[in-house]
Amino acid sequence: MATLEGKVVKPLPKTGISVEAIKGHLDKIEMRDPYAHFARAFRGPKDVQEVAKLAFERFISDNGFFSMYLPYMQSIEQEVIAMGVSLLHPEKNSTGNFTSGGTESNFSGLHAAKEWAKVHKPKAKKPNIVAPFTIHPSFQKSAQYLDIELITTDLDENGRGVAKNIAAAINDDTIMIAASAPTWHFGRIDPIPEIAAVAKDAGLWMHVDACVGGYVSPFLEKLGEKLTPWDFCVPGVMSISADLHKYGYCLKPASTIYWRDAELQKYHYVAIEDHFLGTYKLAGFSGSRSAGPIFAAWAVMSYLGEEGYLRLTRRLLELKKKITAGVNAIEGLRMWDVDVMPLHFQSHKAPTAAVYQCLLDKGWIMLGLVNPEAITIPIDPGFSDEAADLFLKDLRDATEKILAGGEAKKGDIRYS
């Protein structure tokens, strides 16, 4: 018997099992909605999910490996990029690439900046990037892969990055400044105009991680929300990551990396000359990949259009209001103010980790922050009013039970 992280798992069966047995097993282990809703974030309503599934299933076996070569696939991918970049106050030559998620998009930004720096910052021998402390861990991970140092800087009292702290941290080896719009940690947008000005003055690559906000902030703005400018309207911003599989409501894995100018995109590509195979040049980091997510993204974006995204953004705001009011009405709980998403709350009477554990015990699969302890609610328009009512009822029961009983088991809050 092989073991997987201590768990006993069975070897490959000698003979296969029936389709019914497969279905039966999957039925048994599958997470149930609405309890699994937050673990499945981010989804649009049923009709959007159906459109995505239809396109995904149809192209599931097509290989995205060929997206730069086969015209039917290339044009769909380019349409996704054109639709996405149109939301970001693009320049004439702004463009982008489809990726497998925020991590790959951020990796791609870092990689392109490193290649660009070989030409534009030749004195940077041990490249580093500077970013506010709340930069997503996918940067640390990518920096590690690419042998780049990540220097993080202190935040202001509202959890946003501070341009002058970034300016003070850059040195001769700095190649890039990165900031978030918004951060996952606090849902806050860093002061991108001030930070990008620092990058521009120092001649550095500026990347904005808009993995969370990329496909919702443009619609919040159209609905009248006043957000800090964060996209290509800000001088100096050179690349932006934006996740289709978050507030684009597309099927995972789907994200985008956008370049202010096609000239910058050239630093993204890696072309390998293989003796036997010839030129090996693909759209991004992956080799073979399902084309399903690309077609599903095209289908969802085309189906929704601006009008559809605005409708879903209105629903998101309605849900945010309902959940914020519901959480704040429970003894000791306080929802944090956010610029965009996701929502987080803390408990000031019952320990937050105990509330978290009680929610887990009731079946809700939750994410959170460990420092300070907080519980994350990554809402999306696929979360119904009934589900929200059930969640709020369970949260109230959990909190009241802990407050009535004194001691309670504290959960191991986790983000991943």
Total chain residues near ligand PLP (CB under 6 A): 13
- Which distant-in-sequence residues (6+ apart) come within 8 Å of 74 by Cβ? 67, 68
Q: Count the alpha carbons within 13 Å of 134 in the hemisphere toward its beta carbon.
A: 27
Q: Does 344 bind ligand PLP (CB under 6 A)?
A: no
Strand-pair category, 278-281 with 271-274: antiparallel
Q: Count the alpha carbons within 13 Å of 324 in the hemisphere toward its beta carbon.
A: 13
Site for ligand PLP in 75-104 (CB under 6 A): 101-103
Instruction: State which residue, 209 or 380, has the beta carbon closest to ligand PLP.
Output: 209
Q: How far is the CB of 319 from ligand PLP (least distance, A)?
A: 19
**Alpha carbon 336 to chain centroid distance?**
19
Site string for ligand PLP, 151-190 (x = CB under 6 A): -----------------------------x---x------
Closest residue (Cβ) to ligand PLP?
102
DSSP symbol at 383: S
Instruction: State which residue, 186 or 391, has the beta carbon closest to ligand PLP.
Output: 186
Site string for ligand PLP, 105-134 (x = CB under 6 A): -x----------------------------
Q: Does 62 bind ligand PLP (CB under 6 A)?
A: no
DSSP-assigned beta bridge partners for residue 343: 377
Instruction: State which residue, 43 or 136, has the beta carbon closest to ligand PLP.
Output: 136
Find the binder of ligand PLP among 43, 111, 114, 136 (CB under 6 A). Answer: 136
CB 124 within 8 A of CB 105: no
Q: Does 42 bind ligand PLP (CB under 6 A)?
A: no
Q: How far apart are CA 43 and CA 370, in angstroms?
A: 25
User: Concatenated DSSP letters for 173-217?
Assistant: TEEEEEEESS-TTT-----HHHHHHHHHHHT-EEEEE-TTTTTTH
**Which span sits near ligand PLP by CB under 6 A: 67-75, 207-215, 220-228, 331-339?**
207-215
DSSP symbol at 225: -
Find the binder of ligand PLP among 85, 211, 299, 304 (CB under 6 A). Answer: 211
Q: Count the alpha carbons within 13 Å of 69 in the hemisphere toward its beta carbon.
A: 10
Q: How far is the CB of 276 from ligand PLP (least distance, A)?
A: 34
Q: Does 319 bind ligand PLP (CB under 6 A)?
A: no
Q: Does 256 bind ligand PLP (CB under 6 A)?
A: no
Site for ligand PLP in 236-255 (CB under 6 A): 243, 255
Q: Does 380 bind ligand PLP (CB under 6 A)?
A: no
Q: How far is the CB of 354 from ligand PLP (least distance, A)?
A: 25
Q: Does 339 bind ligand PLP (CB under 6 A)?
A: no
Q: How far apart are CA 113 and CA 105, in angstroms?
A: 12
Q: How far is the CB of 325 from ligand PLP (least distance, A)?
A: 25
Instruction: State which residue, 330 or 336, has the beta carbon closest to ligand PLP.
Output: 336
Find the binder of ligand PLP among 62, 77, 190, 209 (CB under 6 A). Answer: 209
Report residue 53: phi and psi, to 5°: -65, -40
Which DSSP helix (H) or strand (E) runs through 119?
A: helix 102-120
N-terminal to C-terminal alpha carbon distance within the chain: 27
CB 93 within 8 A of CB 262: yes
Report residue 298: phi and psi, to 5°: -60, -45
List residues binding ligand PLP (CB under 6 A): 101-103, 106, 136, 138, 180, 184, 209, 211-212, 243, 255
